Structure 1
Amino acid sequence: MSNTKAMAEKLAEYVCDLRFVDLPERVVETTKVAFLDWLGNAVVGSQMPPAQIVSRVLAAQGVQEQQATIIGSLGLEKPLKIVGDRRLRATALWATLVNGSSSHIIELDDVHKASIIHAGTVVIPASLALAEHLHSSGRELIEAIVVGFDTCIRIGEAVTPAHYQYFHTTGTVGTFGAAAAAAKLLKLSVDETCHALGTAGTQAAGLWEFIETGAMSKHLHSGKAGYNGLLAAMLAKEGFTGALEILEGKRGFMNAMASSFDESKVLDRLGTRFTVLENCYKIHSSCRHTHHAIDLVIQLVSEHDLDPEEIQRIEVGTYQVALDITDNPNPTSVYDGKFSIQYCTALAAVKRRAGLDEFIEENLNDDIVRDILGKVRVFVDTDANERYPEKWGARVTIFTVDGQKLEALTDYPRGDFENPVSVEELKNKFTSLVKRYLDETVINELVSRSLSIDDLSDVSTFFNSIG
């Protein structure tokens, strides 16, 4: 190491020094809630076609190593294999890939606003798989998740929003978070952790082009970022070296992958500001950039008890990035609909909900929803655009056939840490998601174990005797 410490070294020192006993109680409790929310997404996502494809590829490679649990099953018609001895296990690397991909499918996973990253879908599956393999304690798992969040979110903040124009932050900076979490569990030294971050950075990838056709690549981003970060830490433990100035170097991550960036955000208040506390949770099953519009439309149609035939048009003003990602007036698939602010607005106006049960083929082709879809107009709202990415705001105006002009605005969609949903609501969200696959006894046990995981002496027992 040189006399001038690289950013990676300072991050590595933080990763190595953090101890569970020094974490504020609120950080611990929030991390457990994040784990539960991630698990619900992973359970349901594991039954969707993209995760099933990844699982089948895994099965073809053989699963002789029994290191970590694969949350889903292998065949589309098979039940979940997380019950007792019937659950499927594989290497920690493969478990991370499959479980990470599974948790980023139904569009109900967590998000951090300023960094625009779904940190849980990368950091948690990598941490869980490795903790199972190493027989780590629940407290060690929490330590890993906390440092993983702090690492990837801070790097994400430094390069946002320029990086986000072409790169899906979850797939890119998420790799650093997984590497930091794995380094913590592997008890790497500061030097080894630096090398892990260096090797993680050279693997950081994830392009937005998938959105043009609704391709499955997005789901792979989270799984592969977790896999790559975990691989980087495992390699570092064996002496594999990585670029030490991977972040700020002249050919490093920030210079290569962002036209503008703010280095100071990487280390600002490191060790005193815990970014997991800023995590936001989804209650609508769509891209987070559509949630403000959904909230406001549901609010207005409910307050005024509007029927669809009473709506003349709907105007949605929001920040430019939201439109860059979700301006799609004619979605052709359910997945397209999740990334269409026009469709999400119309769905909310007609169904007054936008959960997993609402994003179905029947509603996509519903004549009433399609009629409202044609009445939605979107534009860049100057105020919302100036406040982004700290605030993900929108203004919605509904014009009725009888001449009313109904308006509402927000800076904080429901589930933001400034506009939070309660732990009880998130427990209910978990139940509503997984009840289609798991019975009540199993659900209650998973909730209980998730919210008391810091009491677990061996994470490898987390799924034991479920049900």
Structure 2
Amino acid sequence: MPLDEASSRSSTISRTLADFAAGLTWDGIPKDVRVRAVHHMLDAVGIALVSGTYDFAHRTLTALSGLSGAAEKSVGVIGRPVRLAPRDAALVNGILCHGLDFDDTHLGGVVHPTVSALPCALSAGVQAGSSGKDLIVAYILGIEVAARLGAVAKGGFHQVGFHPTGLVGTFSSALVAGKLFGLSARELTQAQGIALSMGAGSLEFLEDGAWTKRMHPGWAASSGITAAALAREGFVGAAAPYEGRFGLYNAYLGPRAAEADLALATAGLGDRWELNQTAIKPFPACHFTHACIDAAIRLSPGLDIGRIRRIRALVPAEVVKTVCEPVASKKRPANSYDAQFSIPYLVAVGLLHGRMGLGDLEPGMLGDPGLLALAAKVDYEVDPKSGFPRHYSGEVIVEMADGQTLSHREQINRGAPDRPLTNDEIVEKYRINAALAVSPERSRAVEATVLSCAETDAATLSADLTA
């Protein structure tokens, strides 16, 4: 639907999403979606636990602790013995859940939905005195909205320098918080109009490995809580936050707005559950790189690294700016975040070590001469058979000194909706991550708490997640 045509139907999307949010109930969500949802929550909690051991987490907590005054209903920080004012807790928890780039991704929306929806639901749920079931319903709502709003842009946000997780997560968080605050459909509509002036998220971090991407989902969660609180008190938001002349897509996509499909924002609401289309990551790196990592790992056994002449990585055209350019810095990542968004480095890791994990992002690995020499041989090409955005396809072709060519292709990246990790595999991923940060007893307790959170309430869940 062209945006000029859509603007004449002012606020159709925000009203439709508000009506859906207001009417969504526990019994209205299929059981398999609810079960899968708590596993996605567990995945994020495991990532948050291990994130807490990193320097960026310590600095974040120090900064936000200095800003938080006494709050009537404080919210726990996942894995830490600290409680903060709800919006500050949402920001910190968002940073922890997204801090290692190991969190879930809706492939069509090119967005990380859990890392804003869960921190928002925890903070808003504690404020509102919500039950565990209400928290899960609001969390699922956040996934559904973020996925659809991201899908409208068809990958366009990345092309113009914006991180969609920070943009659309603000709108979805406004609905998450509004749902838990008990807002009416009219107030939920206003909350989205208010959120329009809050969405943010620059991709400039790709140039120097800045920490700013880590804060995008938490900022979205905090902003969403603010938008919902304002709407509850009658604050007036923009009437057409999505379709308007300066709405989300026109303002952020510019000329690419003509490529957006607004119908995707509300398509299948209540019938098709986008949580089931949201991928769990098997590797702690940008999801765009996963197929090539797996391909490299498959080629690794028996490979004579010393005889490699050249390596070609085939990637979707839409991801080149994110994980392949600028070429020089991608081949010699300056820090762990650079490495997580580097096809040359990650392909080299897969070929050299036959695996890829958090240990491969440590400073000692980033400066390994043999690894960097191999990364220097990796060039990228646009994949003519790409399945993007439904699949983040990839292929690695290794050319040996004697002319022999070895190749492996991953048309459907592991973890994608058409090749999902099982719930048991998600639990195993959680356990591996949690083991890096907490005792086995603590890990088991947190696991049990999250998986059974429908039987408790938001305040108890928050307290149980706090160290």
Query: Match for residue 192 of structure 2?
Result: 197
Q: How many angstroms apart in 1 are the aligned matches of 2:69 and 2:441?
A: 29
Tell me if 1:15 matches 2:28.
Answer: no
Q: How many angstroms apart in 1 are the aligned matches of 2:72 and 2:425?
A: 35
Q: How many angstroms apart in 1 are the aligned matches of 2:90 and 2:250?
A: 29
SS in 2 for 1:206: coil
Query: Match for residue 76 of structure 1?
Result: none
Query: Match for residue 309 of structure 2?
Result: 312
User: What does the per-residue CA deviation read over 1:372-392, in whole Å, with 9 as the maximum and x for residues that have no partner?
Assistant: 1122121112221xx321221
Q: How many angstroms apart in 1 are the aligned matches of 2:40 and 2:220?
A: 18
Q: CA deviation at 1:280?
A: 0.6
Q: CA deviation at 1:443?
A: 0.5
Query: Match for residue 376 of structure 1?
Result: 378
Indicate which of 239, 243, 249 corresponds to 2:238. 243
Q: How many angstroms apart in 2 are the aligned matches of 1:463 and 1:93?
A: 14
Indicate which of 133, 152, 172 corresponds to 1:177. 172
Q: How many angstroms apart in 2 are the aligned matches of 1:16 and 1:332?
A: 47
Residue identity opposite 2:288 in structure 1: H
Query: Match for residue 57 of structure 1?
Result: 63
Query: Match for residue 215 of structure 2?
Result: 220
Query: Match for residue 367 of structure 1?
Result: 369
Aligned 8 A contact 1:42 1:99 in 2: yes
Query: Match for residue 247 of structure 2?
Result: 252
SS in 2 for 1:357: helix
* Aligned counterparts, 1:303-342, within 5 A: 305-327=302-324, 328-342=330-344
Q: How many angstroms apart in 1 are the aligned matches of 2:247 and 2:347?
A: 40
Q: CA deviation at 1:14?
A: 0.1
Q: TM-score scaled by structure 2?
A: 0.92
Aligned 8 A contact 1:122 1:222 in 2: yes
Q: How many angstroms apart in 2 are the aligned matches of 1:147 and 1:3?
A: 24
Quote the RMSD (CA, aligned, Å): 1.8
Q: How many angstroms apart in 1 are the aligned matches of 2:251 and 2:462?
A: 42
Q: CA deviation at 1:397?
A: 1.1
Q: How many angstroms apart in 1 are the aligned matches of 2:464 and 2:200?
A: 38
Q: CA deviation at 1:369?
A: 0.8
Q: How many angstroms apart in 2 are the aligned matches of 1:129 and 1:363?
A: 37
Aligned 8 A contact 2:166 2:199 in 1: yes
Q: How many angstroms apart in 2 are the aligned matches of 1:264 and 1:465?
A: 40
Aligned 8 A contact 1:159 1:254 in 2: yes
Q: Compared with structure 1, are the counterparts of its residues 420 and 176 closer, same or farther at alpha carbon in structure 2 (3 Å cutoff)?
A: same
Query: Match for residue 285 of structure 1?
Result: 284
Q: TM-score scaled by structure 1?
A: 0.92
Q: Compared with structure 1, are the counterparts of its residues 97 and 400 closer, same or farther at alpha carbon in structure 2 (3 Å cutoff)?
A: same
User: What does the per-residue CA deviation read over 1:163-192, in whole Å, with 9 as the maximum and x for residues that have no partner?
Assistant: 221110001011111111111111100110
Q: Which has the higher contact order (CA 8 A, sep 6+)?
A: 2
Aligned 8 A contact 1:157 1:265 in 2: yes
Q: Compared with structure 1, are the counterparts of its residues 52 and 309 closer, same or farther at alpha carbon in structure 2 (3 Å cutoff)?
A: same
Q: How many angstroms apart in 1 are the aligned matches of 2:40 and 2:69?
A: 29
Q: CA deviation at 1:253?
A: 1.1
Q: How many angstroms apart in 2 are the aligned matches of 1:423 and 1:310?
A: 41
Residue identity opposite 2:15 in structure 1: E
Query: Match for residue 229 of structure 2?
Result: 234
Query: Match for residue 418 of structure 1?
Result: 418
Question: Is there any run of 5+ residues in structure 2 with no aligned partner, and where?
Answer: 1-7, 325-329
Identity across matched positions, percent: 29
Q: CA deviation at 1:4?
A: 6.9
Q: How many residues align?
A: 449
Residue identity opposite 1:105 in structure 2: G
* Aligned counterparts, 1:22-421, within 5 A: 22-65=28-71, 67-71=73-77, 80-81=79-80, 87-165=81-159, 166-258=161-253, 259-260=256-257, 261-302=260-301, 305-327=302-324, 328-384=330-386, 387-421=387-421
